[in-house]
């Protein structure tokens, strides 16, 4: 559904200001590539914190303490 809404919004932008819409089509992949390392870093940090939390909670799960 998000893709459909994005396409509709892009077509509205194309009607209102076609140079901006064309620039968006060419710049979006570049912006995505620039932001990709930050998404990967965020995912890895989240996984590390989940792993540390699981290690710290393991003794309580073994003993059955909530």
Residue with tokens 């590390």: 48
Is 0.75 surpassed by the pTM of this model? no
Could you give the C-alpha distances from 59 to 4, 7, 40, 46, 52, in angstroms and in order?
A: 48, 50, 30, 22, 13
Per domain, the residue ranges of the chain are 2-63
Res. 66: pLDDT tops 80:
no
Distance CA 51, CA 43 (A): 12
User: What tokens appear for 52 in the block?
Assistant: 């540390």
Provide the pLDDT for residue 47: 97
Q: What confidence score (pLDDT) does residue 54 get?
A: 96
Check: CB of residue 25 under 8 Å from CB of residue 13: no
The reported pLDDT for the residue numbered 65 is 78
Q: If you average pLDDT over residues 3-31, what whole number do you get? A: 93
Top-confidence residue, 65 or 45 = 45
Which residue's entry shows tokens 């994005």?
A: 6
Look-up: residue for tokens 């559904």?
Answer: 1
């Amino acid at each position: 559904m998000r893709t459909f809404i994005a396409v509709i919004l892009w077509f509205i932008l194309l009607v209102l200001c076609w140079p901006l819409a064309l620039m968006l089509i060419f710049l979006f992949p570049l912006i995505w590539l620039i932001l990709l390392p930050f998404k990967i870093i965020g995912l890895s940090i989240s996984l590390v914190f989940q792993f540390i939390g699981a290690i710290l909670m393991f003794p309580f799960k073994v003993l059955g303490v909530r």
